[in-house]
Amino acid sequence: MTDYQPLYDTLLAAKADAWVELLPEQLAKAFDTNKHGHLQDWQNLVEHPVPNKTDHRTLDASAIKIGLAEELSSSDSLAFAQQLKALHPWRKGPYDLFGINIDTEWRSDWKWDRLKDHISPLKHRLVLDVGCGNGYHCWRMLGAEAKMVIGIDPFLLNVMQFQLIKKCYGTAPVYVLPLGIEELPYGLKAFDTVFSMGVLYHRRSPLDHLMELRDCLVSGGELVLETLIIDGGLGDTLLPEDRYAMMRNVWFLPSCDTLISWLKRCGFKNIRLIDVTPTSTEEQRSTEWMHFHSLKDFLNPDDPQLTCEDLPAPKRAIIIANAP
């Protein structure tokens, strides 16, 4: 069982009492095995013994590394690999767990490399990572000496992957909670830095999402926003008629100027565009750890500058801003 008391204590110190009052009930509801057909099986996998006695941990390299291959016998390594693969698909990473290389769908380290030198130092900061997946970036944030990192993601498989990794790592001030941002109390104003990466285009109301992010931040706190964008000028926005790159839940893809105008309208200050990068099939691809279709299957085979729906191929921007 996860010990959430350090989390509660830190949130209380940040004057997030309103969330601390809600969290036990939120967690109990989210982890109700009667409401999710696979949850008990995933929990059994996490509760199964894992190799968790190691002094070798690296959080500031491309792969989150815990343990060494030589710390496991051949049979234990095989069993642990099967345990990890039972939590397929692995989308964010990479990880190196006791010599087992989890080659995830996304090279999430590339995104981190694009932003790490532009953000305010995370040392001693309370950090929120919205839509964090299995917590890869949460570990990188902890490696950057954040005081505590709280990731939220509504998909339970991601949370189970994180819990298995944390069980290998040991006690650490990092948590991934099975929640969406809409479940956080309004006006929390508790976090020094808030990350929202790969979330905005999934929201039907992007301005509401930006306001939710703003209201999680202390005054002057930093937002790190990464999202799909299109080329164009102020006011240009793509609203797909149906799917985008085979995804149904994609709503608004703004130009960078439009996105900056949204942030201004929501009250953010000191808005900086730090990166625009097309997503490549080297950064997002199928692997033995995620063997479903991936980016190359979602592009026009005759023109990779377009999606299979003949819309502009994925391009992502990173913007940093400060709460008022």
For the chain, domains (ranges, CATH) are: 5-322 (3.40.50.150)
Q: Rounded mean pLDDT of the chain?
A: 97
Per cent of the chain over pLDDT 90 is: 96
**pLDDT value of position 201:** 98
pLDDT tens, 143-171?
999 999 999 999 999 999 999 999 999 99
- Residue 91 CA to residue 94 CA, distance in Å, equals 9
pLDDT tens, 255-272?
999 999 999 999 999 999
**pLDDT value of position 105:** 98
> Is the per-residue pLDDT at 140 higher than 90?
yes
List the single range of 24-38, 99-113, 298-312 with lowest mean pLDDT: 24-38
Decide: 14 and 55 in contact? Cβ < 8 Å: no
Overall average pLDDT of the 267-283 stretch? 98
Overall average pLDDT of the 88-95 stretch? 98
- Report how far apart the first and last C-alpha atoms of the chain are (Å, whole number): 39
> Is the per-residue pLDDT at 37 higher than 90?
no
> Is the per-residue pLDDT at 96 higher than 80?
yes
To which residue do tokens 């109700």 refer?
32
> Is the per-residue pLDDT at 52 higher than 80?
no
Decide: 94 and 107 in contact? Cβ < 8 Å: yes
**pLDDT value of position 314:** 98
Decide: 216 and 183 in contact? Cβ < 8 Å: no
**pLDDT value of position 35:** 85
**pLDDT value of position 153:** 98
> Is the per-residue pLDDT at 10 higher than 80?
yes
Residue 83 — very low, low, confident or very high, per pLDDT cuts 50/70/90? very high
- Residue 68 CA to residue 54 CA, distance in Å, equals 8
> Is the per-residue pLDDT at 1 higher than 80?
no
Helices (H), the chain: 5-13, 17-30, 39-47, 74-85, 108-115, 136-143, 156-169, 206-216, 256-265
Per cent of the chain over pLDDT 70 is: 100
DSSP conformation class of 55: S
Cβ–Cβ contacts within 10 Å for residue 264, how many? 12
**pLDDT value of position 249:** 95
Overall average pLDDT of the 50-64 stretch? 93
**pLDDT value of position 271:** 98
Overall average pLDDT of the 10-30 stretch? 97
**pLDDT value of position 81:** 97
**pLDDT value of position 262:** 98
> Is the per-residue pLDDT at 317 higher than 90?
yes
Upstream peptide bond of 94 is cis (omega within 30 degrees of 0): yes
**pLDDT value of position 135:** 98
Phi-psi region of 67 (alpha: psi -120 to 50; beta: other; left: phi over 0): left
